[in-house]
Amino acid sequence: IRRLVAGASVVVNAGDADREGQLIVDEILDYVGCKAPVKRLWLQELNAPGIKRALDRMKSNDEYRTLSLAARARSQVDFLIGMNATRGYTKLWQAAGNDGMVHVGRVQTPTLWLVYHREQERANFKSVEHYGVKVTLEHANGSFDSNWVAPENAPFLDAEGRVLKRAEAQRVAKAVEGATGEIESTKTEDKRQGAPLPYTLLDLQKAANKLGFTPAKTLEIVQALYETHKVVSYPRTDCPYLPEEDFSKAGDVIAAVKSNYGQAWQFDGKHDLSLRSAAWNDKKLGAHFGIVPTIGRVSLSALSDAERLVYDMVVRRYLAQFYPVHEFKATVALIRIAGEQFKSTGRMVTVKGWKVLYEASGDDDDAKAPALPVLKEGDPVKVDGVSLQTKRTEPPQLLDGASLLDAMKNAHRYVTDPAVKSRLKDVEGLGTEATRAPTIENLVKHKYMVEVPKKGGKNKGKDYTTTAHGRALLQLVSAELSKPDLTAWCEGKLEEIVEGAMPFERFSAIAEKLTKKIVDELKAPEALSRVPKVESDNTQKCSDCGGTMTVRSTKDKKEKFWGCRAFPVCKHTEPYVEPT
């Protein structure tokens, strides 16, 4: 690179289209002493037409300088906090007699806290029994169901509007049994529902989690579809919108997709290339755009089963942009019976539209609210059946791959400080589209949390729960390192660097001061008293000095042995046998 740059009249920075990609190439050019003018190639898709368009739009690399500074600042603060806190807390951990080490990170530790926080919500949850009344009504145009609406501010309601007294529900059920009533009001609205926007990585990971794929596995699959097979666009994106100029290329994309499917093409061919969804919007584009199929050609037989499933998801979402809007009539009817109010809702589909692509998914709002018969104000109705409903509030579910990703993105929900909450919401939470899955995998790898099968035979995928080691880590570290607030602060300052509102040197000084504060707190005499004691499976008593032996590895990492932790004072070792 040094030789090529030295002879170049112009150099092009073609790093990834984000702050990290900017920094990587800038550091190389700085290292080799580049003196030539530098242009910035901002690539958002790896195909010939996309690359040509990006070449025509190149700007001076200097215009991206603050992006590079922000990436350097992010790297610095993560290194300072991660290295010093991990080292410091590990020393404190071991000083209290614990084995091994602890890993502390600006994003990783708060992610673990999210899993623990949900576990605590479940542990402290108190189920509430509440009641309802459901009736089946006869009408001249057909029968339908309706539910009792308790009066507002009634003394037997809780803050959520639930009926807590069974006797009140029983009273209403008895009063309306066999009674006649009338339609008090009815309102029907024509509603339209546009196609869902193309996938972001987060959206794709959440959707694929329902198929049993972990976030890391989904990222691995879609990365292969992009990098190896070249049939989808850049996957590490947080923007669902598409460039307006790509609308005219949809015919070529769909032709390539149909060719890839061949005889396996499963869509009905009713897409209309003249239809333009809300996805095509330059004003809402970020550094990247939504994940969509490309003009890349490959036979589906070349894809693994997992790759085929994810490719199918991306294709289906893209095709939906060229189907009509889903239209339906939504009706709300209020009924008065024996002085009590009941409510019925229904919907009648008038145009199926893009939803024909998802009919087999089982996730259809249309089926959950069937159409009501034609009703008008004053129509008589008769109660044909009454049921008293007893319900219990359910505890929040453990976090799985989809909900943990969602919690990371929306970490502002867990922050109480209004200013910090707003900042964290602006930067979309903990980590980025590209780093969230690896963060989760690291927590599992280091055994701070584990994956457990979801309860219920039909449920696919796994939930996350913390281990004793993970809970001990959260008990050990300070609140500023375990809660999402610190990331909110950091990301806010990084945005200020990008905008030119904060000098890099100022951020660097603050990061160093924060790190020193963390280390000073670890050195305080009282710090040792709050370290929890966690028994390890990898310890045993030393027969020579009476101390603790731990499992160690030879220099070549090929063999394990028991070694005394008092080394070099005690050099006693024993053979290690893997447990069966």
Residue numbers annotated as active site? 234
Structure tokens given for 325? 């809007």
Question: ∠154-156-161 over CA atoms, to 5°?
Answer: 70
CA gap 218, 207 in Å, rounded: 10
Q: Which residues pair with 275 in a beta bridge?
A: none
Residues 424, 418: Cα–Cα separation, whole Å? 10
**Count helices and strands in the chain by DSSP H and E runs:** 18, 15
Tell me the C-alpha distance between 195 and 319, whole Å.
9
* Letter string b/e over residues 480-519, b meaning 16 or more CB atoms within 10 A of that residue's CB: ebbbbbbbbbbbbbbebbbeeebebeebbebbeebbeebe
Contact 20, 71 (CB under 8 A): yes
Residue type, 516: K
CA 344 from centroid of its chain's CA atoms: 35
Asked whether the bond before 484 is cis by omega within 30 degrees of 0, the reply is: no
CB atoms within 10 A of CB 373: 16
CA angle, residues 94, 99, 103, in degrees to nearest 5: 75
Q: Which sign, positive or negative, has the C-alpha torsion 18, 21, 23, 26?
A: negative
Is residue 206 within 8 Å of 402, Cβ to Cβ?
yes
